């Protein structure tokens, strides 16, 4: 049998295909290792991003870790995560207890971001003259949360350190006066956070006098729950209007509601 | 002394370029200088001109997000500069990790016991790595190489604080010193692969003059990408491979004036 023309090149082609296969195999192995490494890096849910940060998932995609936001911060409050910081490496974050956000009116960090990971247009509204301007009060770095068990104001000790330093005083943080039931004679002047105004700047967290801050900032999605559509605040007309458009079909399903009431009350022992 | 300077003139120029770029970035962070703010991923020149790593930008795009116009302009500026003018010069004239790997490979040459073994590794691994960077970026939704790049870890570390990042740098150093000669820059780095492709047709080129060549092979001995010099002693021609980093080490070591740096359009 005579060899067909070009048969000398056959070993070359075989070699090429083998090389290609080997390369693809190595790439698959490398890719899996690489991907496993990256996946671990993504999970750090309590990280506090600069004002104007888009949703964490998108933020991680858009942030090129250039540090321009940190350099723009006049208070050097933004930290660039180093390996070992337990944050996605190279990305900016706050450590409120040490150095909180001072809520600059011109929001230099967000303006400095070249990629859109920080979007200053999220913090724009109109002033009294109808002009478009930046408004740091629209920032949502996080939400301040109070641990009432360690907050000494809730013990009845007069402390309003967090209230007084709050840049959005009397809106984001108020003091509520109640009778101190423990003594029957004294007042409790307790700080209360209001989520619609709190920017999560963390100034309160730094000011807190307890050994470990009793008011601290968490990302909004961690600090807050979410009630279902059909729960209504009693005797509140506005809240009743809220459910007028909710469809008839709405049904809240939780692990507990899937069982009948009798079942979980009588047999489950709570 | 003068001889030493002349024999290392391109090395001195490269170190000057690498160190001054780094110094401008560090100065911007520490003292508020306005020459180069940010870092190699993204920066602003004189507070106005945006400069963006085009490879990082492509990975970002692969995640399904679009960067702002500023970042896109910055990426285009860098890309055009290296594609038209500099070729793969980023690697040898800008990248700070190059100083680490150069040190490892110099030690490999000088150390008496011939430090380390010389594993063979396919130089095309880097192209697979570059391809993987895009695939993983698309799958995971984050710019994949930017998350593990030892270049960024070193560069950011010097500007913003190193943390535990030094381990990655030592790993690259030891990889080059003990396992694969020119291992990281010449075999693995996807950014180098990107610039090899991007700078394929750039103008600044090393050229070889056969008539001057005495075939001492010093150029090939010192070249970090030896495969780009097949013409040495055989023909006068420009280096055509995009994998040449324009480090000009071959020119420094050539005693016969057989290597020159010039424009591709010029005469040989």
pLDDT in tens, B123-176: 888 998 898 888 888 888 888 888 888 998 898 888 888 887 788 888 888 888
Q: Between A and B, how many residue pairs show a Cβ–Cβ distance under 8 A? A: 134
Q: How far apart are CA B91 and CA B175, in angstroms?
A: 18
Which tokens hold the place of A75? 């208070």
Q: How many CA atoms lie within 13 A of B223 on its CB side?
A: 21
Contact with chain A for residue B146, Cβ under 8 A: yes
- Count CB-CB contacts under 10 A for residue B94: 20
What is d(CA B241, CA B225) in angstroms, rounded to the nearest whole number? Answer: 10
Show which of residues 59-78 on chain B sit within 8 Å of chain A, judged by CB atoms.
Answer: 60, 63-68, 70-71, 74
What CA–CA distance (Å, rounded) separates A220 from A143? 5
Which residues does A118 contact at the CB level (< 8 Å), separation at least 6? Answer: A49, A50, A51, A52, A53, A54, A69, A109, A110, A112
> Is the CB of B49 inside 8 Å of chain A's CB atoms?
no
ipTM of the complex: 0.82
**Lookup: tokens for A200:** 């999560």
* Residues A115/B74, Cβ–Cβ less than 8 Å: no
For chain A, which residues score pLDDT lower than 70? 1-10, 36-43, 250, 252, 256, 261-270
B170 CB-near residues (< 8 Å, 6+ apart): none
| Residue A84 to residue B136, Cβ atoms within 8 A | no
Query: Which of B71, B75, B77, B139 is the mutation pick for testing A, counting most A CBs within 10 A?
Result: B71
User: The whole model's pTM is what?
Assistant: 0.80
Quick one: average pLDDT of B231-259?
Answer: 87
- Collect all residues of chain A within an 8 Å Cβ-Cβ radius of residue B139: 35
Contacts of A270 (CB under 8 A, 6+ apart): A264
State the nearest Cα–Cα gap between A102 and chain B, in angstroms.
19
Q: Find chain A residues with C-beta within 8 A of B151's C-beta.
A: none
Look at A115 and B156 and tell me if their CB atoms are within 8 Å. Answer: no
Angle at B92 between CA B156 and CA B27, to 5 degrees: 35
Calculate how close chain B gets to A110, using CA atoms only, in Å: 13
In degrees rounded to 5, what are phi and psi of residue B230?
A: -75, -15
Contact yes or no for B156 and A116 at CB 8 A: no
The reported pLDDT for the residue numbered A250 is 64
Nearest to A115 among B68, B161, B168 (CB): B68
Predicted confidence band of residue B199 (pLDDT cuts 50, 70, 90): confident
Residue A110's pLDDT is what?
93
Please tell me the predicted confidence (pLDDT) of residue B200.
Answer: 86
Task: Check B128 against A61: CB less than 8 A apart.
Answer: no
* CA dist list (Å): A248 to A229, A231, A243, B63: 11, 14, 10, 39
Give the pLDDT of residue B116: 67
Cβ atoms within 10 Å of B78's Cβ, excluding its own: 23
CA distance B66 to chain A (A): 8
Q: Does A95 reach chain B within 8 Å, measured CB to CB?
A: no
- CB-CB neighbours of B181 under 10 Å: 20
Is the predicted pLDDT of residue B57 greater than 80, yes or no? yes
pLDDT, tens digit, 9 for 90 and up, residues B72-125: 898 999 999 988 888 899 999 999 999 999 998 888 888 776 666 777 888 888
Among B10, B1, B45, CA closest to B254: B10
What mean pLDDT, rounded, does chain B reach? 87
Which residue in chain B has the smallest CA separation from A79? B160
């Amino acid at each position: 049998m005579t060899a067909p023309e070009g048969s000398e090149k056959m070993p070359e082609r075989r070699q090429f295909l083998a090389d290609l296969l080997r390369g693809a195999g190595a790439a698959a192995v490398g890719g899996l290792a690489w991907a496993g490494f990256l996946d671990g890096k993504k999970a750090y849910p309590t990280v506090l991003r600069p004002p104007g940060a888009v949703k964490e998932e998108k933020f991680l995609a858009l942030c090129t870790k250039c540090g321009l936001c940190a350099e723009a911060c006049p208070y050097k409050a933004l930290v660039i995560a180093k390996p070992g910081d337990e944050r996605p490496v190279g990305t900016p974050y706050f450590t409120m207890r040490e150095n909180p956000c001072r809520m600059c009116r011109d929001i230099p960090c967000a303006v400095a971001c070249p990629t859109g990971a920080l979007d200053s247009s999220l913090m724009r509204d109109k002033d009294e003259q109808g002009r478009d301007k930046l408004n740091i009060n629209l920032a949502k770095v996080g939400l301040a949360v109070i641990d009432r068990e360690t907050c000494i104001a809730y013990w009845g000790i007069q402390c309003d350190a967090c209230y007084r330093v709050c840049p959005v005083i009397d809106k984001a943080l108020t003091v509520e006066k109640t009778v101190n039931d423990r003594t029957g004679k004294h007042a409790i002047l307790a700080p209360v956070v209001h989520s619609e105004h709190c920017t999560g700047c963390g100034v309160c967290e730094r000011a807190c006098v307890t050994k470990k801050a009793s008011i601290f900032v968490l990302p909004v999605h961690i600090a807050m729950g979410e009630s279902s559509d059909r729960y209504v605040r009693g005797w509140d007309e506005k809240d009743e209007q809220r459910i007028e458009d909710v469809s008839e079909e709405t049904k809240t399903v939780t692990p507990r509601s899937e069982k009948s009431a009798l079942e979980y009350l009588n047999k489950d022992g709570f | 002394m003068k001889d030493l300077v002349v024999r290392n003139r391109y090395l001195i120029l490269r170190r000057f370029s690498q160190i001054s770029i780094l110094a401008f970035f560090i100065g911007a962070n520490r003292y508020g200088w306005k020459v180069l703010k940010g870092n190699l991923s993204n920066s602003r020149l004189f507070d106005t001109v945006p400069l963006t790593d085009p490879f990082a930008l492509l990975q970002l795009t692969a995640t399904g997000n679009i960067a702002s116009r500023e970042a896109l302009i910055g990426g285009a500026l860098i890309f055009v500069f290296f594609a038209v003018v500099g070729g793969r010069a980023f690697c040898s004239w800008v990248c700070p990790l190059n100083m680490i790997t150069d040190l490892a490979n110099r030690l490999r040459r000088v150390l008496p016991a011939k430090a380390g073994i010389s594993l063979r590794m396919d130089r095309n691994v880097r192209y697979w790595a570059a391809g993987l960077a895009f695939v993983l970026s698309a799958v995971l939704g984050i710019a994949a190489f930017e998350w593990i790049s030892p270049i960024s870890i070193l560069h950011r570390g010097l500007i913003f604080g190193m943390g535990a990042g030094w381990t990655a740098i030592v790993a690259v150093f030891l990889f080059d010193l003990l396992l694969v000669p020119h291992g990281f820059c010449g075999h693995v780095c996807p950014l180098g692969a990107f610039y090899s492709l991007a700078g394929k047709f750039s103008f600044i080129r090393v050229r070889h003059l056969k008539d001057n060549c005495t075939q001492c092979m010093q150029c090939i001995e010192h070249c970090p990408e030896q495969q780009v010099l097949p013409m040495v002693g055989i023909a006068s021609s420009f280096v055509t491979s995009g994998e040449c980093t324009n480090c000009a080490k071959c020119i420094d070591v050539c005693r016969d004036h057989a290597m020159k740096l010039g424009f591709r359009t010029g005469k040989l």
